[in-house]
Structure 1
Amino acid sequence: MKGNGTYSYLEPLISEVEHIFVIDDFASRIESGLFHKESLFSSEFGNIHPSDPKLTMIFQMEVKFDRFELYDVNGKLLQINCPFIAVRLHAKGLKQDRSVEFQPKGKCQFTILDDFEHPIKESEDNQMHSSGVRSWYVEKFLCLDDPRTYLCESGALVLRSHLTLNLGDRIPKRSYKREDQSLDVSKALSQRLSRESYPDIYLVSQGLRFPCHKHMLASCSEVFEAMFSQENSSEAISNEVKIEDIDPDTLEKVLDFVYKDKVVDFEGLAINLIYAAEKYNLENLKILAVQRAVQQINVMNVSEVLILGDRVQSNTLKEAAMDFILRNIQSVRSSAGWKELTQNFGNLVDEVLGELL
């Protein structure tokens, strides 16, 4: 099918907001040893989205001065009462008169400033994580070797947060006319064919056979494309692909994505789907699964998530796991996953300890 139309190059829509928070009583906290006390600040920003002037976001900053005892993997005490600032930025989007969900991606950098607002200590960019349909947060531990060196002359602590939001929408960069536009063949066929209609290949997992079509698998995965291009391969001869490292439930979700371009319900299989997406080079599925896995991190699986994030080179997954471990270090150190981490992945343990120091 051919048609006429105007097409555009598109670019991401980025919005940046920045705010400075001043904690006046920070010096007195240090002198009195008053730990665990939180300072809470709120600010409201408008004009976040140029196409929706009514959209505002509320930013809530929580800052807590705390200390902890730090141990190495063998249980040896490394440092006593190492002080740090726990910073949590919570952003809430207020959606008004919008027909689509507002779910931006974001990253935040925290910086301690001096009296002249010059940076003294700053964190790297930290990814924000979703905690609801319209709610996001980022947490960071800023360790202080001597807290007094980070204070202004008045004894206050000045902290700046810089938040960069990718609003997900796109705006035209430039347009051009094009006479012929062909429909995507794979997409058109997927709308007409179910997996059970005229299959020419079967994927086999634990004895279960899943009917499929070579053109659908090859159009989504370079791995399958290379496999089916070899006429003398065992898969081409038998019209079967035996998959021993992906269970049937996970494989069913993979095929849902191939044929429907979405996963309706992850059913706790996000981590398994990341492995499968990495194996068959399904990048879009990997992105979806990583987003869901971040939401499902807990004490029991965080070590596995950290290992997986490092293995598949997903900064989003790895940073989320690191942040969770830092916030729940005592509970995580008692888990079976942490024991495996210390025994087999010393480099990752060193990274965690490096963040704590």
Structure 2
Amino acid sequence: MKTFCGILWEGVRKELQMSFSAFFRLLLGALKSFLNAETLQCQVFTSDEENGQLESRFISLVSNDDHKFTCNKKILSSKSDVFKTLFAGSENDQCVRFQEIEKNLIKIDDVDGETLREILRYVYFDVVDQNIMDPNPNLPFKCLLAAEKYMLDQKFKDSCQDFLVLSVDDENAFDYFRLAENLNAEQLKLSVGDYISQYLTHKRDVLP
């Protein structure tokens, strides 16, 4: 006859096994959903029909220095109105900047690979690299220009402006102010305007 402790342990063990199995199934399902929806890894096809369906969901973007990135059209469309218009098949004049080299392969002539990589990092993961200015301090500037051209969401533009504010100095302040005016980047414009005001006040105070 089993002891009370033995019976109790057997029940606990079965419960733990069931809980672990349920958790593992949940984890596996979530992982499959993530891989199907958001990664750019190669897929294994079981039929030509599945191959065609996958091709219709993905597009390859080629930068002006020939870096190639394969992306999910739906994810791109969720962050950029220009890509959303393009993939909807509109003849909007915004789409003339794209050169379709072959099926599902588009050349983007006004963005380099470094900039496109940072844009796609944000598009996929909703974050901007905190080391975006290392080793290229001009990268936030290029990202902000591209964000305006391709109508990325305001959160990305604000992040680019934040990094530019950190890099403003006596040599680039006036250039940044003109950039902010041209791009309607109010956050950058206000911050750089304050910097210029303080700079001019200091110059006035030190003049004989």
Question: Same fold by TM (over 0.5)?
Answer: yes
Q: In the superposition, relative to structure 1, how do residues 231 and 306 fare at CA in structure 2: closer, same or farther (>3 Å)?
A: closer
Q: In the superposition, relative to structure 1, how do residues 240 and 262 fare at CA in structure 2: closer, same or farther (>3 Å)?
A: same
Counterpart of 2:192?
Answer: 321
Deviations along 1:136-169, one digit per CA (max 9) or x if unpaired, are xxxxxxxxxxxxxxxxxxxxxxxxxxxxxxxxxx
Counterpart of 2:147?
Answer: 277
1:208 to 37, 45, 67: 67
Contact 2:61/2:71 (CA < 8 Å) preserved in 1? yes
Counterpart of 1:289?
Answer: 160
Instruction: Give the Cα–Cα distance (whole angstroms) in 1 for the partners of residues 176 and 195 of structure 2.
Output: 10
Structure 1 position 240, deviation (Å): 2.1
Contact 1:196/1:211 (CA < 8 Å) preserved in 2? no
Structure 1 position 207, deviation (Å): 1.4
Counterpart of 1:300?
Answer: 171
Q: In the superposition, relative to structure 1, how do residues 209 and 295 fare at CA in structure 2: closer, same or farther (>3 Å)?
A: same
Higher relative CO (CA 8 A, sep ≥ 6), structure 1 or 2? 1
Structure 1 position 191, deviation (Å): 8.6
TM normalised by structure 1 equals 0.37
Instruction: Give the Cα–Cα distance (whole angstroms) in 2 for the partners of residues 243 and 295 of structure 1.
Output: 29
Deviations along 1:90-130, one digit per CA (max 9) or x if unpaired, are xxxxxxxxxxxxxxxxxxxxxxxxxxxxxxxxxxxxxxxxx
Contact 1:196/1:212 (CA < 8 Å) preserved in 2? no
Q: Which amino acid aligns with 2:110?
A: D
SS at structure 2 position matched to 1:328: helix
Q: Which amino acid aligns with 2:123?
A: V
Q: In the superposition, relative to structure 1, how do residues 197 and 294 fare at CA in structure 2: closer, same or farther (>3 Å)?
A: farther
Structure 1 position 221, deviation (Å): 1.1
Instruction: Give the Cα–Cα distance (whole angstroms) in 1 for the partners of residues 164 and 148 of structure 2.
Output: 14
Structure 1 position 204, deviation (Å): 0.9
More displaced 10-residue stretch of structure 1: 217-226 or 319-328 = 319-328
More displaced 10-residue stretch of structure 1: 238-247 or 250-259 = 238-247
* Structure 1 residues 19-34: aligned runs within 5 Å: none
Contact 1:228/1:236 (CA < 8 Å) preserved in 2? no
Q: In the superposition, relative to structure 1, how do residues 248 and 275 fare at CA in structure 2: closer, same or farther (>3 Å)?
A: same
Matched, 1:244 2:115: no
State the identity %.
28
Instruction: Give the Cα–Cα distance (whole angstroms) in 1 for the partners of residues 172 and 36 of structure 2.
Output: 37
Q: In the superposition, relative to structure 1, how do residues 313 and 301 fare at CA in structure 2: closer, same or farther (>3 Å)?
A: same
Q: In the superposition, relative to structure 1, how do residues 236 and 218 fare at CA in structure 2: closer, same or farther (>3 Å)?
A: farther
Contact 1:190/1:216 (CA < 8 Å) preserved in 2? no
Structure 1 position 189, deviation (Å): 4.8
Higher strand share: 1
Contact 2:101/2:107 (CA < 8 Å) preserved in 1? no
Structure 1 position 235, deviation (Å): 3.6
Structure 1 position 309, deviation (Å): 0.8
Q: Which amino acid aligns with 1:298?
A: D
Question: What 5-or-longer segments of structure 2 have no aligned partner?
Answer: 1-32, 44-54, 204-208
* Structure 1 residues 38-77: aligned runs within 5 Å: none
RMSD of aligned Cα (Å): 2.9
Deviations along 1:198-255, one digit per CA (max 9) or x if unpaired, are 5721111111111111111112111101111228986496312222222211111000
Deviations along 1:21-54, one digit per CA (max 9) or x if unpaired, are xxxxxxxxxxxxxxxxxxxxxxxxxxxxxxxxxx
SS at structure 1 position matched to 2:174: helix
Query: How many residues are paired up?
Result: 145
Q: Which amino acid aligns with 1:252?
A: R
